[in-house]
Structure 1
Amino acid sequence: MKTSFQRPCGLARAAATAAAAVAIALLPGTATTAKADASHLPPGVIKLQDSEPCPSATLCLYRDYNNRGPAYGVGAGYDVNLYDLPMSGGVNGPSAADEASSWVNNASHLAILIDRDNDQFRPLFPHQSLQEPPATNDSVDFIAWA
């Protein structure tokens, strides 16, 4: 398994590694678990207005850079398969999987951004934002929490 971290942090790094390994192992073998349907979002997920600021205690993902475009908010502790989130205007399909370019973690918990296709993960620490670098842009398919 390849790992990619933005900054070293002993306990957080160990927690991120363990949580990501469990999440990757538990993901189903098929790319989708359910058809993306805006009226039936997974527990803990809210649809934001395009480019809406990220609410407190929430991890937000945006289709476009600079926190623009279609967006979702995920409550801390809710693991989410991004194939279950419909997203318009994407180049990789009708869901949020492999579409997010901007992230904001306004939660007090460590979020793990997982790219199952390449067995890679990286942490997004509490109260941090991320503009995806070209190498990892549009790659996340699952969100887990440490």
Structure 2
Amino acid sequence: MANWKARLLVTTTALAACSTAFGPAISTAAQAATVTTRPALADLPPGVVKLNDAEGCPPATLCLYQHYNRRGPAYGIGAGYRVDLNDLPMGDGTAADNVSSWVNNTHSMAVLIDANEGKARPLYAGQPLEEPPSDNDTVDLVDWA
């Protein structure tokens, strides 16, 4: 995996150097080479923090983990913040349809929404959740009741 990053860096650097000599068309190509399809961590929605892999869930936070048993990439969401999980980078994609365990350390009921199926289900205050097989990797949106 490191090889493709090194090649991208070399290509981008070379294209940027050419833009000085050959004009804005090359500069546009250099910019296009660095575009990514997943959101950057610096662009997290309001109320969201990135947690370390398998980090415990802080107080007053709804935490989501990519894998069962609160393992893997994780985020914390402050109570009351409506969050589209498509805005959270996770693995090679996003957290949408990619979360297996939750902890609700808030004093509010979170609503886990599967936008694809039009289903919503509660996660009560103070409760953890290991997704049952039928609902694993289905949540796209977090809202609050």
* Residues in 2 aligned to 1:44 and 1:59: alpha-carbon distance in whole angstroms: 10
CA distance in 2, matches of 1:35, 1:99: 14
Is 1:73 the counterpart of 2:72 in the alignment? Answer: no
Task: Name 2:130's counterpart in structure 1.
Answer: 131
Would you say 1:115 and 2:135 are equivalent positions? no
What is the TM-score normalised by the length of structure 2? 0.73
Structure 1 or 2, whichever has the larger Rg, is 2
The root-mean-square deviation of aligned C-alpha atoms, in Å, is: 1.2
Provide the residue aligned with 1:63 in structure 2: 66
Equivalent position SS for 2:112? strand
1:91-145 Cα distance to aligned partner (Å, 9 max, x none): xxx1000000000000000000000000001000000000000000000000000
Identity of aligned residues (%): 57
Report SS of the residue matched to 1:78: coil
Q: CA deviation at 1:35?
A: 4.7
Q: Give 1 or 2: higher helix fraction.
A: 2
How many angstroms does 1:58 deviate by? Answer: 0.2
Match of residue 87 from structure 1? 90
Matched residue count: 109
2-side partners of 1:96 and 1:36: how far apart?
Answer: 11
Q: Unpaired runs of 5+ in structure 1?
A: 1-33
* Cα distance in structure 2, aligned partners of 1:70 and 1:35: 15
Q: Partner of 1:72: helix, strand, or coil?
A: strand
Shift of the alpha carbon at 1:37?
1.6
SS of 1:39's partner is helix
For 2:65 and 2:38, the matched residues in 1 are separated by: 20
Q: Which residue of 2 aligns with 1:105?
A: 104
Q: Which runs of 5+ in 2 are unaligned?
A: 1-36
